[in-house]
């Protein structure tokens, strides 16, 4: 499996801690967050990662160029360029590196999801988008997905009271569909996913396990405490039933 990691954000919520260091390189236990994330993805079946980078992405690339161990996926790099492209634009910039069906994740998320089952669901459903969701009822973050009777609708820009689920942070996209149904230039990936919902070209994949994130100071502190007690990733994945 191939995974595109969106790690090009400015990390404005983390500046009080990170200063000018990308949040992917913030320490967590004995390693940085990106070490834990990449080793975790490799354990879950990802063989190649494309890092979509922006501000200070050169620091991430320089750091990861030293990672040749078998516990890491193969790593390639894609850059926004002279100005930020948004999450959607970053996917499109990396498109030449991507396989026909590829995973997309965020560079500040540590997810408990069975990627083999996710990809099998994508292939079986034959929809060009498979989107993971979790029922959170606004706990932890604002719910942005309506899901009933196997049907879902996602729109993070127009929140409604009936939204009880949240974007879990891992999707599968079909390359040709993405190319044909996304704009050029800068855009948010949420625009593409929302349109796929409207066109009924999306398959929901429900996950029940809460995730960890390092996009906020509070989330980062929670993840550090968690990972310091769970350094054996294979044991952790086995206990969670995702390998």
**3-state SS assignment for residue 202:** strand
In a domain, 236, yes or no: no
For residue 160, the cross-strand partners are none
Torsion of CA 45, 25, 90, 194, to 10 degrees: 70
Whole-angstrom Cα distance, residue 12 to residue 171? 24
The predicted pLDDT at position 16 comes to 56
In a domain, 241, yes or no: no
In a domain, 64, yes or no: yes
What is the total count of domains within the chain?
A: 1
The predicted pLDDT at position 101 comes to 98
The predicted pLDDT at position 10 comes to 56
In a domain, 45, yes or no: yes
For residue 159, give both structure tokens.
């929140």
Per-residue pLDDT of the chain (243 residues; tens, 9 = 90+): 999 999 976 555 555 565 678 889 999 999 999 999 999 999 999 999 999 998 889 999 999 998 878 899 999 999 998 889 999 999 999 999 999 999 999 999 999 999 999 999 999 999 999 999 999 999 989 999 999 999 999 999 999 999 999 999 999 999 999 999 999 999 999 999 999 999 999 999 999 999 999 988 899 999 999 999 999 999 999 999 999
**3-state SS assignment for residue 5:** strand
The predicted pLDDT at position 148 comes to 95
In a domain, 65, yes or no: yes
The predicted pLDDT at position 15 comes to 58
pTM for the model stands at: 0.94
The predicted pLDDT at position 70 comes to 85
The predicted pLDDT at position 11 comes to 54
The predicted pLDDT at position 18 comes to 54
In a domain, 81, yes or no: yes
CATH of the domain at 9: 3.90.550.10
E strand map for 33-119: 48-53, 74-79, 101-106, 109-110
The predicted pLDDT at position 12 comes to 57
Residue numbers of the domain that contains 104: 2-228
């Amino acid at each position: 499996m191939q995974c595109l990691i969106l790690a090009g954000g400015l990390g404005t919520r983390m500046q009080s801690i990170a200063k000018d260091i990308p949040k992917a390189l913030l320490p967590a236990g004995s390693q940085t967050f990106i070490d834990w994330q990449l080793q975790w993805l490799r354990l879950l079946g990802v063989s190649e990662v494309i890092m979509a980078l922006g501000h200070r992405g050169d620091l991430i690339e320089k750091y990861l160029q030293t990672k040749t161990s078998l516990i890491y996926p193969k790593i390639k790099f894609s850059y926004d360029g002279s100005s930020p492209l948004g999450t959607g634009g970053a996917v499109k910039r990396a498109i030449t590196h991507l396989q026909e069906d590829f995973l997309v994740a965020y560079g500040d998320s540590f997810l408990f999801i069975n990627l083999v089952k996710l990809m099998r669901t994508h292939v079986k459903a034959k929809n060009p988008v498979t989107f993971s969701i979790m029922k959170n009822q606004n706990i932890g973050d604002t719910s942005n997905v309506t899901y009933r009777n196997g049907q879902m609708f996602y729109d993070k820009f127009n929140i409604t009271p009936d939204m009880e689920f949240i974007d879990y942070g891992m999707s599968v996209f079909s390359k040709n569909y993405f190319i044909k149904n996304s704009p050029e230039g800068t855009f948010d990936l949420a625009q593409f996913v929302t349109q796929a919902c409207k066109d009924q070209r999306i398959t929901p994949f429900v996950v029940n396990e809460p995730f960890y994130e390092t996009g906020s100071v509070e989330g980062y502190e929670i993840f550090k405490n968690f990972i310091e007690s769970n350094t054996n990733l294979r044991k952790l994945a086995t206990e969670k039933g995702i390998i």
